[in-house]
């Protein structure tokens, strides 16, 4: 298995607002240090290429991209926490802007398309280990630590080349409201998400079972909201159902928005899944026999991230 890594070590947000308090921001490079060590020891790393910004415009309008760039440039004297949501185009107060935000988001875009090209070239599984994450970013709103929606950009890019159906499986603890909204009217991209119930957990605004897509895309959006503290015993049948749906659509490519925050030791998620559960997830994913592009989303405990990656990607070693 091949992988691409772009942790943007220069991009270190320090603040966010949580429950009305300014707290430390957990979306930092060190959360993936041990994952990088594991991947470099056991898998083949590929070099990142640059891509034209036109590919971002598949998902995000040019004005939004330029707006984020201007916000970053204005933050050269310090970190900026969004105050006026409609003006700032940021969904929540937990997504700060630093002088490095735009460059980091662009680098994550480069890494993701590098991985997509590698998958198309060799029809192999590829892991894109990058930050900032992306699945909470809508076409014109940042949020949830996300600025550009990496998985959505990859899906649009791949579809523009192969013109065949693509599925996105979102396994992050938090519903990918951005990804869902981007493809809610697009019958060519199937979105399937397993996540903590939005009645209790971020992003609260989407991820309910009755959200099925609209127009020609009706019946192509699938949400599986679950209660907190579930174990593998409760999670497995839901994953099996999700994979059964994906198999019925016969996609040419599967994109997995991968969140390690479903691990029991992650303080940002509320499932009780251990390392062995990730091993079983990997076994099930490899068994569906579809080229997979893994795109990193959440995961905020360094040790839990390592255990999750180690167990998940053991299934893909020497393949």
User: Each residue of 145-158: pLDDT tens digit?
Assistant: 999 999 999 999 99
Q: What CATH code is assigned to 2-316?
A: 3.40.800.20
Which of 123, 101, 137, 131 lies closest to 296, judged by CA? 131
| C-beta separation of 151 from 178 below 8 A | no
* Mean pLDDT along residues 77-98: 88
Q: What pLDDT score does 93 carry?
A: 83
Q: What are phi and psi of 113, to 5 degrees?
A: -70, -30
Contacts of 226 (CB under 8 A, 6+ apart): 194, 195, 196, 197, 234, 235, 238, 271
Q: What is the pLDDT of residues 228-261, one digit of tens each?
A: 999 999 999 999 999 999 999 999 999 999 999 9
In the chain, the percentage of residues whose pLDDT exceeds 90 is 91
Contacts of 64 (CB under 8 A, 6+ apart): 89, 139, 140
d(CA 246, CA 239): 11
* Mean pLDDT along residues 165-180: 98
What is the number of helices (H) and of strands (E) in the chain?
9, 10
Q: What pLDDT score does 317 carry?
A: 80
Residue 134 preceded by cis peptide, ω within 30:
no
Query: The whole model's pTM is what?
Result: 0.97
Positions marked active-site: 136
Q: What is the pLDDT of residues 3-55, one digit of tens each?
A: 999 999 999 999 898 888 889 999 999 999 999 999 999 999 999 999 999 99
- Angle at CA 183, nearest 5°, toward 181 and 188? 170
d(CA 235, CA 42): 28
Unique residue bearing structure tokens 């959440």: 298
* Mean pLDDT over each residue of the chain, to the nearest integer: 96
Give the DSSP H/E element, type plus range, for residue 256.
Answer: strand 253-258
Buried b / exposed e along 124-148 (16+ C-beta atoms within 10 A): bbbbbbbbbbbbbbbeebbbbbbbb
d(CA 314, CA 168): 22
| Domain range annotation of the chain | 2-316
Q: How confident is the model at residue 84 (pLDDT cuts 50, 70, 90)?
A: confident
């Amino acid at each position: 298995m091949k992988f691409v890594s772009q942790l943007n070590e220069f991009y270190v947000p320090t603040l966010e607002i949580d429950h009305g308090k300014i707290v430390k921001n957990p979306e930092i490079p060190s959360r993936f240090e041990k994952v990088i060590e594991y991947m470099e020891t056991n898998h083949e790393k590929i070099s990142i290429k640059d891509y034209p910004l036109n590919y971002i415009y598949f998902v995000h309008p040019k004005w939004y991209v330029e707006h984020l760039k201007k916000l970053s440039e204005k933050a050269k004297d310090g970190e900026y926490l969004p105050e006026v949501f409609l003006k700032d185009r940021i969904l929540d107060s937990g997504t700060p802007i630093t002088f490095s935000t735009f460059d980091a988001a662009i680098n994550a875009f480069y890494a993701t398309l590098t991985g997509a090209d590698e998958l198309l070239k060799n029809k192999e599984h590829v892991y894109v280990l990058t930050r900032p994450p992306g699945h909470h970013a809508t076409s014109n709103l940042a949020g949830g630590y996300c600025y550009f929606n990496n998985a959505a950009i990859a899906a649009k890019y791949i579809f523009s080349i192969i013109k065949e159906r693509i599925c996105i499986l979102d396994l992050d603890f938090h519903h990918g409201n951005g990804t869902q909204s981007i493809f809610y009217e697009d019958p060519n991209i199937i979105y399937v998400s397993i996540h903590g119930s939005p009645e209790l957990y971020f992003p609260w605004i989407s991820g309910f079972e009755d959200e099925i897509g609209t127009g020609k895309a009706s019946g192509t959006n699938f949400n599986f909201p679950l209660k907190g503290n579930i174990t593998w015993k409760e999670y497995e049948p839901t994953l099996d159902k999700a994979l059964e749906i994906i198999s019925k659509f016969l996609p040419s490519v599967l994109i997995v928005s991968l969140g390690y925050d479903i691990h029991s030791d992650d303080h940002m998620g509320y499932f009780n899944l251990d390392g062995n559960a990730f091993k079983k997830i990997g076994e099930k994913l490899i068994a569906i026999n579809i080229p997979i592009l893994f795109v990193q989303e959440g995961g905020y405990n360094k040790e839990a991230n390592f255990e999750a990656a180690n167990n998940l990607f053991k299934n893909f070693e020497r393949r």
